[in-house]
Chains A and B, each alone.
Chain A
Amino acid sequence: MLLLLLSIPLLLALIIWFLPASLRVLQLAHVVGATLLLTAGIGLFVQTYGGAVPTALNELLRVDLLSGLFVLLITLIAWIVGLYTIHYLMVEHQEHGVSLRGGRQFYFLLNVFIFAMLTAVTANNVGLMWVAVEGTTLATTFLISFHGTRAALESSWKYVLISSVGIALALIGTILFYFVNVQAGSEAEHALNWTSLRSAATSLNPEIVRMAFVFILVGYGTKMGLAPMHTWLPDAHSEAPAPISGLLSGVLLNVALYALLRFKIIADLRLGGAYTGNLLLGMGLLSLLVSAPLILNQTNFKRLLAYSSVEHMGLICLGLGFGGVFGTFGALFHVLNHALNKSMLFMLSGNILQRYQSTRIPAIQGLLGLMPWTGALWLLGILGLIGLPPFAIFASEFAIFRAGLTGGSALHLVVGIVGLILLSVIFAGFVAHNSPMVYGDPPEVMLAKDPPDVPPTGVGENDDPPVYPLWHTLREKLTWATAPLLLNLGLLLIMGIVLPPFLRETLQRVVLLLGGGS
């Protein structure tokens, strides 16, 4: 099952490479492949849930429940994104001059990207894990510059350079872990295996483990978008095509977090939880501090979502930093909720951009009237994102802050209170930006009965009012651009009201794996 899972996106990428450049054919292939992949992902998750720990290729790959959970998350979101691209790319092709060969390149890179992410979360060898995480950067660079605009090129340059340099630091951390493991007497050939590190954990040189974890935190933290290494994130996530933004924010950040978690487990076994916990609290709080004012003053709705990802990665760090059963449980739960919520919103932002031809918040008015499906999902998604019940993020944020405020540590109490204040600032920012977008009337020009028959002008790069083709002025119907996202919303509602028992048990068992029970 494990090798099958990895071979699906790899084979699919190869097949797509040789397919004729026709969107219908490409999309059919991709959707069939993504569905198979989801099936395999669920299968693998069920296997690990049943207590099995499958390994492959001489223990190079190993899937425990922590991996299983991330495999499930990646394959599920990738499936939803796959469905979403059906409508999205068709519009891009018809209106924005995306060529059919461009479409083929898109699906090829998308599958390589998914392959790299799945390899990262199923690798037992932490060196291979690093190679795969760097692979995700390489696979996504041209996806981010897909539209070829100046801003897209700028952001993909920053992305590939900053991410590669940042993650190189994680390689130093990885080598240092290897070094202490060999020093502790582990067999060199397997000393990069996570299982080998774990069994030798208590005899590792603590001073070097401390140092190595800092490298790991800065390195994978860069990829995770933690402040102050987050500078590439708002550019890349806002310039990428919407489905890619959804995957970057919803899933890829979590893959970097996963890598961090693997090392945290080892470091905690040697040093106790306080060392890594306090570092994570610092990074988490800083990420909230940096993102709050930028959210408050934001004029671009895709950047708004991107900064919100910095914020939510910070929240996850806070949960892990508070630790204990509640903190760790809340953090993991938050990973799932944020992934579902943010990927949905990014895809919706693509719909809005395609209609209104702008990413500027003031240019968007009357979403609910013009685009009832997108508008309603957007409104509910934003309410969920800022932590209103009954959506799931409320539950996970509640668990995180409960851990901070009731843990009995003065430091945690202070961090928790500051965190809550920042959260309310962000809450206010979102409400202020969002209301004019959703309510009110669409701009005059979009309601014109007889719109001038001119192709749309550039995508929100200047202040001139754009000119819209006919369908932009019609009331939106339910299409592939919105229907798949109903699943995100449904899951967020269900998980917010009552956490399904199997998920609760999974999270509880992963918390034990992370040492959060002690």
Chain B
Amino acid sequence: MLTSDGFIRILNLLSVGVLVTGMLILWRRSLLSAVQIFGVQSLLLALMAVWIAFYTGAAHLYLIAFLVAAIKAVAIPVLLSRIIRRLDVYTEIEPYIGVATSLLVGAGLVVVAYFVMQPVADATNLPTHNALPLAFAMVLLGLFITVSRKKAVTQILGFLVLENGIFMLAVLATYGVPTIVEIGVFLDLFVGILIMEVLVYRINQTFESVDTHVLDELRG
């Protein structure tokens, strides 16, 4: 049997890997590579779930890990890449907030996450508790990407990073929520992304742009 020390070391490594991918998404302007990085992040999360399942014997996490890998690491990146190619929008040219500032804000959000999640991390003696703030940092990063970018595809990506953060939180804090709920959440997410895809096509058709700042007719 693996020592708890070794388990934690690998787990922390995976968590830091997830955070790095989050920062990379913030940094890259190329939408295709941002989508690929998101795929890598999801794969890391799937590995994390497998690792925890292996160590703790929480067998339902294997199924969840498979779903993450299939939906978030493969299906959704394929879907998003298709949108990018079809609509011919490869870069986020002028985000509302520049890249350098974004990275600074991102770092700040990680610090905030540590403060907010400390009570939760303190409340448990699970071997996973050290990485909890990183999960919440992903949530905040996702939120920030969604509000600071103009392209609809990047906003979807921000939402997905946020979802990954929530998934990581659930896996670390409670070894995942009961399977039926987890499956429901995946279903919502997948259908949600499909709906957003259709909407992006329609918006592109109607407005001839997927910069969401053209969506400014409704005010007051």
Interface residues of A (CB under 8 A from B): 60, 125, 127-128, 130-131, 134-135, 137-138, 141-142, 145, 148, 150-151, 153-158, 160-161, 164-165, 168, 171-172, 175-176, 178-180, 182-183, 188-189, 192, 205, 207-208, 211, 234-235, 238-239, 294, 297-299, 303
Contact = CB atoms under 8 A, between A and B. Distances in A.
A208 B188 contact: no
Nearest to B183: A131
Closest 6 CB pairs of A and B: A127-B181, A131-B184, A154-B215, A235-B218, A134-B188, A179-B173
Contact of B215 (A137, A158, A160, A192): A158
A298 B195 contact: no
A134 B192 contact: yes
Interface string B168-209: 011001100110110011011001100110110011001100
Given A128-B181, A148-B202, A160-B192, 12 more contacts: A128-B180, A134-B192, A153-B202, A157-B212, A161-B155, A161-B156, A165-B143, A165-B159, A176-B173, A182-B174, A183-B123, A188-B178
B41 interface: no
Contact of A168 (B123, B163, B215): B163
Contacts of B159: 161, 164-165, 168
Contacts of A148: 202, 206
A207 B174 contact: no
A125 B185 CA distance: 13
Contacts of A153: 199, 202-203, 206-207, 215
Contacts of B137: none
A60 B181 CA distance: 10
Given A125-B181, A175-B174, A178-B174, A157 B152 contact: yes
29 contacts: A125-B181, A127-B181, A127-B184, A128-B184, A131-B188, A135-B188, A145-B202, A150-B217, A153-B206, A157-B199, A157-B212, A158-B215, A168-B139, A168-B159, A168-B162, A168-B163, A168-B166, A171-B166, A172-B166, A172-B169, A175-B166, A175-B177, A178-B174, A180-B123, A208-B120, A208-B123, A211-B119, A234-B218, A303-B220
Nearest to B174: A179
B202 A175 contact: no
Given A160-B192, A164-B159, A127 B178 contact: yes
Most chain B CB within a 10 A radius of its CB, from A158, A160, A175, A205: A175
Contacts of A183: 123-124
A182 B202 CA distance: 45
A83 B26 CA distance: 50
Nearest to B204: A153
B146 interface: yes
Majority DSSP secondary structure for residues of A touching B: helix
A138 B195 contact: yes
B188 A165 contact: no
A292 to B, nearest CB: 13
Contacts of A235: 218
A164 B202 contact: no
Contacts of A234: 218
B218 A155 contact: yes
A239 B218 contact: yes
Nearest to A155: B218
B173 A175 contact: yes
A205 B217 contact: no
Nearest to B198: A142
A141 B199 contact: yes
B119 A207 contact: yes
A170 to B, nearest CB: 10
A150 B202 contact: no
B181 A192 contact: yes
Majority DSSP secondary structure for residues of B touching A: helix
Nearest to A132: B184
Contacts of A60: 180
Given A161-B155, A165-B146, A208-B119, A189 B178 contact: yes
Contacts of A151: 217-218
Nearest to B179: A189
A161 B146 contact: yes
Contacts of B185: 127, 130-131, 171
A461 to B, nearest CB: 9
A131 B177 CA distance: 13
A192 B178 contact: yes
Contact of B218 (A154, A165, A205, A298): A154
Contacts of B146: 161, 165
A211 B116 CA distance: 9
A130 B188 CA distance: 10
Contact of B196 (A150, A161, A207, A239): A161
Given A138-B188, A171-B185, A183-B123, A298 B166 contact: no
Nearest to B175: A188
B178 A150 contact: no
Given A156-B199, A234-B218, A192 B123 contact: no
Contacts of A238: 218
B3 to A, nearest CB: 25
B186 to A, nearest CB: 10
A154 B204 CA distance: 11
Contacts of B139: 168, 172
Contacts of A154: 203, 215-218
Nearest to A125: B181
B217 A175 contact: no
B178 to A, nearest CB: 6
Contacts of A157: 152, 199, 203, 212, 215
A164 B192 CA distance: 8
Contacts of A176: 120, 173
Contacts of B155: 161
Contact of A141 (B124, B173, B195, B217): B195
A178 B123 contact: no
Contacts of A161: 146, 155-156, 159, 196
B180 to A, nearest CB: 7
Nearest to A297: B220
Contacts of A303: 220
Contact of A294 (B166, B187, B202, B220): B220
Contacts of A158: 215, 218
Most chain A CB within a 10 A radius of its CB, from B123, B163, B207, B216: B123
Contacts of B195: 138, 141-142, 160
Nearest to A182: B174
A205 B220 CA distance: 43
A127 B178 CA distance: 9
B123 A205 contact: yes
Contacts of B152: 157
A168 B167 CA distance: 11
